[in-house]
Amino acid sequence: MSDPAGPVGVRDRSVRPVLPPATLGMLGGGQLGRYFVIAAHELGYRVWVLDPDPDSPAGRIADRHLVAPYDDPAAIDELATGCRAVSTEFENVPADTLRALVARTVVHPSADAVAVAQDRIAEKAFLVDHGLPVGPHTSVAAVEDLDDLADDLFPAILKRARFGYDGKGQAKVADAAEARSAFDGFDRAPCVLERRLPLDRELSVVLARSRWGDVACFATAENRHRDGILDLSMAPAPITPEQDAEARDVAVRIAEALDYVGVLAVELFVSDGRILVNELAPRPHNSGHLTLDATVTSQYEQQVRALCGLPLGSPRPVAAAVMVNLLGDLWPAGGEPPWGAVLGVPDLKLHLYGKVEARPGRKMGHLTVLGDDPGAVAAVAERARRDIGVIDA
Ligand code: ADP
Ligand code: MG
């Protein structure tokens, strides 16, 4: 993999860290970017955010909000001139934007690493090439690729290779005929066809890797989804020490193979007892929200530290935690959910992102419950969920 830092090289310890009060840049203004801004502010940095949405959650609290498309040459020029280091909070940032910035300022993660994570075909090929465990799948670039498929690929999920999130751009298909019509439904955009696996559970390992190759993994989280959207995360995950060690090992191998610098999230399946990689996110992850309240250093502070060449912080958990996503579905027309029902719960932290419009499926906030006993924490979180109107599926 080419070295994004050019002739200087990311491993050169003589490259000076970017210290506060330098100005940092963030591509993307969603909630992940918002927490990056908060973490950077805590450390005394200034942050400029690029996001075309004038109401973006991160843009609203940034020192400067560049309201422009991600490929806008003038905005990219401003970031390159005004920011000592730039990172991203979403994988769909154009790789060319990162490449244009790399030539003029510090950028982590690299455009090459983001390019792998933003395209499911490249991602799967990368994982297979490095001997990392993945489920049965095939890439679909043309309709003929759906001919003569092995029966063991079905039932399957057809996933668009690019621009999917929260289960969008995915279709469950029972056989090749259904796969063909789903492929047509995606306008024959490149896809990956994956066998629909029986899932014992889903896990994520969020880690940070520094310019010098130091790695710090947060506690492995278990994630539960509803309708393809993360519903709840708990850390530590209720898995065996062997499973935990394997999950971390897989995640660290991925980070090393990508020569990754920054925060990386690895989504994993446990299927019939085997750990398989689902997908990568080259950024902090929704399941890592709980690190805001439950670990010494949050994933966002780690992102700032890794970006700026500071030593990584401690990922040590200070409590067991359960995080519940709060989606726009909870919002009554013209009103707010009954926050009073949860604001008084001891050891519960409510986070709202300040999004202007609550739409179904939109991530509006989350709550995290902390405690010593994971079972008791989960029970409090379940009750809090019901009390503000999360209806069980
Ligand atoms: P997204 O980018 O939307 O997060 P994912 O590929 O992670 O896309 O899929 C979202 C969710 O759909 C997963 O977390 C999992 O619950 C389910 N899912 C995805 N792929 C499979 C699969 N091959 N077998 C079973 N469930 C899957
Ligand atoms: Mg996912």
**What is d(CA 136, CA 335) in angstroms, rounded to the nearest whole number?**
46
- The rounded Å distance from CA 361 to ligand 2 centre is 15
**pTM as predicted:** 0.95
Residue 217: name the closest of 317, 293, 366, 128 by CA: 317
Residue of minimum CA distance from atom 22 in ligand 1: 196
In the prediction, which pLDDT does 6 show? 38
Read off the pLDDT band of 8 (50, 70, 90): very low
* Residue 15 confidence (pLDDT) above 80: no
In the prediction, which pLDDT does 182 show? 97
Q: Mind listing the pLDDT tens digit for each residue in 307-330?
A: 999 999 999 999 999 999 999 999
Residue of minimum CA distance from atom 27 in ligand 1: 196
Hey, which of 170, 230, 275, 283 would you mutate to test ligand 1's pocket, going by the most ligand atoms within 8 Å of its Cβ?
170
* Ligand 1 atom nearest to CA at 197: 24
Residue of minimum CA distance from atom 1 in ligand 1: 165
Residue 181 in tokens: 């019509």
Ligand 1: residues whose CB is within 6 Å? 135, 157, 159, 164-167, 194-197, 199, 202, 225, 228, 267, 278-279
Burial of 282 (0-12, 13-18, 19+ CB in 10 A): buried
Check whether the bond before 4 is cis (ω within 30° of 0): no
Read off the pLDDT band of 257 (50, 70, 90): very high
Residue of minimum CA distance from atom 17 in ligand 1: 228
- The rounded Å distance from CA 225 to ligand 2 centre is 9
Residue of minimum CA distance from atom 2 in ligand 1: 165
In the prediction, which pLDDT does 5 show? 39
- The rounded Å distance from CA 7 to ligand 2 centre is 35
Hey, which of 278, 287, 363 would you mutate to test ligand 1's pocket, going by the most ligand atoms within 8 Å of its Cβ?
278
* Ligand 1 atom nearest to CA at 167: 3
**What is d(CA 247, CA 43) in angstroms, rounded to the nearest whole number?**
31
Q: State mean pLDDT over 295-315.
A: 98
- Which of 4-18, 136-150, 188-202, 254-268 is predicted least confidently? 4-18
H or E element, residue 386 = helix 374-387
Q: Mind listing the pLDDT tens digit for each residue in 152-161?
A: 999 999 999 9
* DSSP alpha helix (H) spans, 222-262: 241-257
Domains of the chain: 6-117 (3.40.50.20), 136-195 (3.30.1490.20), 201-387 (3.30.470.20)
Strand ranges inside 335-384, DSSP E? 348-352, 363-371
* C-beta of residue 74 within 8 angstroms of C-beta of residue 249: no
**What is d(CA 361, CA 276) in angstroms, rounded to the nearest whole number?**
27
